[in-house]
Amino acid sequence: MRLLLALAVVLLSGCGGIAGLSGSVLPPRLSDQDSGVDVLLIAAHAVDEGVVWASGAGGTVVKTIDGGATWQAVPVTTPGADTLQFRDVVALDSETAWALAIGPGASSQIAKTTDGGASWRTVFVNDEPDGFYDCLSFWDAERGVLYGDSVDGELRVRTTADGGETWALVPASALPAAGEGEGGFAASGTCVATRGDGLAWIATGNADPARVLRTTDGGTTWAASDLPIVAGEAAGAASVAFRDDRHGVAVGGDIGDADAVAEAVALTADGGVTWTAGGRLPFAGAAYGAAYVPGTDAVLAVGPGGVGLSRDDGRSWTLVDERTFWGVAAASAEAAWLVGPEGRIVRVRL
């Protein structure tokens, strides 16, 4: 969503702080790591406990193969990449990754590396002047899905079956009708989630109501469900995450108001067919990203107002850090990462 371009300029890091969790559960342990860069980091993808990629402004991509003990800059080297914001990164392993740059028209493009970031090549460039792509995800090494803001009243979803070499537009007849101005928020690279052989969900906003689109056939056809969260211009769902095929969470809020306190969490237990209101976020403003901690019902949510942790599928939340973060990824209870302004990377251990 175009609004996030402006927010990148004004959102600065806040003061640090960790609040303890109530009860007998120990609070999470947060460890700052040295990313080696000082730009805004927006998205992260954890392949496993050792291999993690992150991306952000100025063509920046960084990765670690040792759990964050050391990070290596592997910037996108395609022409003009240093002027782009790479707001999503998806990795297959330590060698193969896709990075999505956002913006109107040709600024929305995908770069791919198969040699660990030593070199990149462009595999997709948006050819619609009014188009704007927000995030992508992959089911496996060959099949993936790309989502963008609506154009001329039609939703924009593309799929690939060849490792991202080509991206076919899903026809409007296979998609729900778009709400007025409906799109996504390019805030953390988590507005699309994929699971299994062909399940996927897309969080939408900037229209009323906010919705989640869902597919069960690898992106061939899509349905939509309304979300019980704040909606309208510059509001709605920014992120969607699932811990299994049925249980998921969508988060967002009023993206344009950093002080807003509003319904911003929705929960599903039937694969996204129906959604109910979740617990109130423990920080003001919107959540930009969310990630389930694999093997648990714990969810991490991040935004300009801080970091929230839920240990009960999003029904209740505790504040664990007051600093600004944009992206989150988790490989296990011992290995989750938060990314944000000025190259900030923090490892979280539950």
- Local confidence band at 1 (pLDDT 50, 70, 90 cut-offs): low
**Domains of the chain: total:** 1
Residue 294 lies in a domain: yes
Q: What is the pLDDT of residue 26?
A: 86
Q: What is the pLDDT of residue 5?
A: 46
- Local confidence band at 12 (pLDDT 50, 70, 90 cut-offs): very low
Question: What mean pLDDT, rounded, does the chain reach?
Answer: 94
Instruction: For residue 126, give every residue at least 6 positions away whose Cβ sits within 8 Å of its Cβ, in sequence order, or none.
Output: 105, 106, 107, 108, 109, 132, 133, 148
Residue 220 lies in a domain: yes
Q: What is the pLDDT of residue 66?
A: 98
**270/285 Cα distance (integer angstroms):** 28
In the predicted structure, residue 21 carries a pLDDT above the cut 60: no
Query: What residues make up the domain containing 264?
Result: 3-8+26-349
Q: What is the pLDDT of residue 25?
A: 78
Q: What is the DSSP letter of 170?
A: P
Residue 130 sits in a domain whose CATH number is 2.130.10.10
Q: What is the pLDDT of residue 136?
A: 98
Residue 339 lies in a domain: yes
pLDDT digits (tens, 9 = 90+) for 45-101: 999 999 999 999 999 999 999 999 999 999 999 999 999 999 999 999 999 999 999
Q: What is the per-residue DSSP string for 70-83?
A: S-EE----STTGGG
In the predicted structure, residue 23 carries a pLDDT above the cut 80: no
**Which residue pairs, CB below 8 angstroms and at least 24 apart, start in 16-23?**
16/321, 16/322, 16/323, 17/321, 17/322, 17/323, 18/320, 18/321, 19/318, 19/319, 19/320, 21/309, 21/311, 21/318, 21/320, 22/318
Residue that has been written with the tokens 């403003």 in this structure: 285
Residue 18 lies in a domain: no
pLDDT digits (tens, 9 = 90+) for 207-257: 999 999 999 999 999 999 999 999 999 999 999 999 999 999 999 999 989
Q: What is the pLDDT of residue 105?
A: 98
In the predicted structure, residue 11 carries a pLDDT above the cut 50: no
In the predicted structure, residue 350 carries a pLDDT above the cut 80: yes
- Residue of higher predicted confidence among 319 and 8: 319
Residue 21 lies in a domain: no
